[in-house]
Amino acid sequence: MTIDASAEDEADSRPRLSARAWWGVGAGLAVLIALSSWWGWSVAHQAVRWQDVGFKIVSPTEATVTYDVFLYSESPVTCHLRALNTNYAEVGVATQHVDPAAGKSQRFTTTLATTEEATTAVVNYCEADS
Question: pTM of this prediction?
Answer: 0.68
Return the H-helix or E-strand segment holding 120.
Answer: strand 120-128
Give CA–CA dist 110/118, Å, rounded. 15
Instruction: Convert the pLDDT of each residue in 94-105 to its tens digit.
Output: 999 999 999 999
Phi and psi at residue 47, in whole multiples of 5°? Answer: -80, -20
Domains of the chain are 48-128 (2.60.40)
* 3-class DSSP assignment, residue 109: strand
Instruction: Convert the pLDDT of each residue in 59-85 to its tens digit.
Output: 999 999 999 999 988 899 999 999 999
pLDDT band at 3 (very low <50, low <70, confident <90, very high): low
